[in-house]
Chains A and B, each alone.
Chain A
């Protein structure tokens, strides 16, 4: 079997394909110098170019290992890919049918992607000049030179070699894919090249199986998530926070990777909800101007942990609650006076169930003039608040609520507001 003469253009002169041999598939494909048994360092790249899954050649020929003997070394770059791909096309064709190009020389340069797309390469001028020099030394008679490269590179060669002026005749074959080359030479292996583009029923079957597996995967993930979230959501929805905390703690301490991370994200979700409720809960306190001239009209929205000092004045005060969220919330609010000794005095303790965007003004009350600490505590929740209420009652009796109590409320997903005005003597 004699293959057409094929040159791979390099900047150090063209390299000719001397022979191509199919090897045992256990052997990695090699490029070697002819008759020297000297393997070229780029052989691993050639093996990757041949062998599946990255390799293109095995897709075309069905064989995974070759030894190609070259007339000279190729040390770097990827422009050898087109020449070797064409060699494999010719070799595969020659095995099936008689194929030859008498008195012709095939000149190649270009990269080839794993899908058989030909890409342009650089240094065409240098490569072509080296080729011309080598052609001058060639003793055998050539009728034609077939230049195969990407259209961009063909144009570069044509600038150097005007049409019709050279001997032997140059035929330019601009190739955007290996398909173009197979079509030009009428190679039967071209059918193999076109096959992947059409996507055979086998490929579609593969897609369907992959799709089904994907759906099963998603369904399984949703089921797992559902099984995992449902019990926690139920405890949250029913306001059973103690059990919820216990469940989350158990998951964190004794659960698997999924439990630990799930517990973490569920807890984060509750904390974010608490933060949103805190921002959407509007609490306003007003001092009403009365007959007593010492009482002026004041208004303050409670956003920080500090109440205005005028709450200590013996004036008529009024609280207004608002819901700025897009869902109904329930607000428990209390205004408490803590003296230095004895039990606290609850001046106001109220609950309001507010639809979205609604505001309610609570009854007026008169604050006694005293140096005691005045505290406003409010809890906003979208869930049943039976457990929250007991925590609320504990909080209003304590002038300095414990951090863990505040943390517990926030971790339950409830908005919490706490503001104080220390004594007027301060």
Chain B
């Protein structure tokens, strides 16, 4: 094949290689767009760390982590290692609903608002002081982690206002749930 000197020349092998590369890229993009979240995704430790430090900004990431058993196990190990205080599962209570969960390191108390509009106040009483300011209360309920931002701690007490639909209400009443503070 003869061409003029100012045209780009490409031989057949090079064109074939470029075509294959483009086809692979198209297939990959199609595959990713069709991913329903059930397939394994690759996450670095940095991703897990970001999710643990800033859970409010990484809601989708946390959901993705918890869909994958392997990532969920790594995330669980990371969160447990980050806990400043922890409260293990409670002994099974006689009544269905608890109003207080006590632990060696902190207690939790759930009080409904007198306005009876579905608002609850979760009172967290820490037994010891820590050097760092606690940022989150998080809990493992039904093999899934959930986070609540803590209000400023005053005299070892923090308080969070939640609605009755918040998952912490169920977790609070489930003796098997575990709570942590970091």
User: Chain A residues in contact with chain B, CB under 8 A?
Assistant: 19, 21-24, 26-28, 30, 32, 35, 37-39, 43-44, 67, 69
**Cβ of A23 and Cβ of B113 under 8 Å apart?**
yes
Assuming the contacts A39-B151, A43-B151, asked whether A67 and B113 have C-beta atoms less than 8 A apart, the reply is yes
CA distance A27 to B154 in the complex (A): 13
CA distance A19 to B114 in the complex (A): 12
Minimum distance in angstroms from A282 CB to a CB of chain B: 64
Assuming the contacts A37-B119, A37-B163, asked whether A23 and B154 have C-beta atoms less than 8 A apart, the reply is no
B residues in contact with A32, CB < 8 Å: 119, 161
18 pairs, A vs B, C-beta closer than 8 Å: A19-B115, A21-B114, A21-B115, A22-B114, A23-B114, A23-B121, A24-B114, A27-B123, A28-B154, A32-B119, A37-B161, A38-B161, A39-B161, A44-B151, A67-B113, A67-B115, A67-B119, A69-B115
Minimum distance in angstroms from B144 CB to a CB of chain A: 22
Interface flag for B111 (CB, 8 Å) = yes
A residues in contact with B109, CB < 8 Å: 26
Assuming the contacts A32-B161, A37-B161, A43-B151, asked whether A26 and B114 have C-beta atoms less than 8 A apart, the reply is no
A residues in contact with B157, CB < 8 Å: 28
**Cβ of A26 and Cβ of B117 under 8 Å apart?**
no
Q: Number of contacts between A and B (CB, 8 Å)?
A: 45
Quick one: which of A23, A26, A37, A38 has the most chain B CB within 10 A?
Answer: A37
Contact string against A for B residues 141-182, beta-carbon threshold 8 Å, 1 for contact and 0 otherwise: 000000000011010010111110000000000000000000
The chain B residue with its CB closest to the CB of A39 is B161
**Cβ of A37 and Cβ of B162 under 8 Å apart?**
yes
The 5 A-B residue pairs whose C-beta atoms are closest, nearest first, are A37-B163, A21-B115, A39-B161, A27-B121, A37-B119
Minimum distance in angstroms from A50 CB to a CB of chain B: 13
**Cβ of A35 and Cβ of B151 under 8 Å apart?**
no
User: Chain B residues in contact with chain A, CB under 8 A?
Assistant: 109, 111, 113-115, 117-119, 121, 123, 151-152, 154, 157, 159-163
CA distance A27 to B113 in the complex (A): 9
CA distance A232 to B152 in the complex (A): 55
CA distance A73 to B123 in the complex (A): 23
A residues in contact with B154, CB < 8 Å: 28, 44
Minimum distance in angstroms from B49 CB to a CB of chain A: 27
Assuming the contacts A26-B123, A27-B123, A44-B152, asked whether A35 and B161 have C-beta atoms less than 8 A apart, the reply is no
**Cβ of A24 and Cβ of B111 under 8 Å apart?**
yes
The chain A residue with its CB closest to the CB of B158 is A28
**Cβ of B151 and Cβ of A67 under 8 Å apart?**
no
B residues in contact with A30, CB < 8 Å: 121, 159, 161
The chain A residue with its CB closest to the CB of B117 is A35
CA distance A67 to B118 in the complex (A): 13
A residues in contact with B162, CB < 8 Å: 37
Assuming the contacts A44-B151, A44-B154, asked whether A28 and B114 have C-beta atoms less than 8 A apart, the reply is no
**Cβ of B152 and Cβ of A21 under 8 Å apart?**
no
Minimum distance in angstroms from A87 CB to a CB of chain B: 15
CA distance A27 to B115 in the complex (A): 13
**Cβ of B151 and Cβ of A27 under 8 Å apart?**
no
**Cβ of A27 and Cβ of B163 under 8 Å apart?**
no
Minimum distance in angstroms from B7 CB to a CB of chain A: 65
Minimum distance in angstroms from B121 CB to a CB of chain A: 5
The chain A residue with its CB closest to the CB of B164 is A37
CA distance A165 to B35 in the complex (A): 67
CA distance A98 to B152 in the complex (A): 38
The chain B residue with its CB closest to the CB of A41 is B151
Minimum distance in angstroms from B135 CB to a CB of chain A: 14
B residues in contact with A44, CB < 8 Å: 151-152, 154
**Cβ of B159 and Cβ of A28 under 8 Å apart?**
yes
CA distance A23 to B113 in the complex (A): 7
The chain A residue with its CB closest to the CB of B125 is A26
Assuming the contacts A39-B151, A43-B151, A44-B152, asked whether A26 and B161 have C-beta atoms less than 8 A apart, the reply is no
CA distance A184 to B115 in the complex (A): 30
The chain A residue with its CB closest to the CB of B161 is A39
The chain B residue with its CB closest to the CB of A35 is B117
CA distance A91 to B125 in the complex (A): 31
When the two chains form the complex, which single residue of B111, B117, B118, B152 contacts A27, counting CB atoms closer than 8 Å? Answer: B111
B residues in contact with A27, CB < 8 Å: 111, 121, 123, 159
**Cβ of A21 and Cβ of B111 under 8 Å apart?**
no
B residues in contact with A35, CB < 8 Å: 117
A residues in contact with B152, CB < 8 Å: 44
The chain B residue with its CB closest to the CB of A23 is B114
Minimum distance in angstroms from B165 CB to a CB of chain A: 9
CA distance A32 to B118 in the complex (A): 14
**Cβ of B114 and Cβ of A67 under 8 Å apart?**
yes
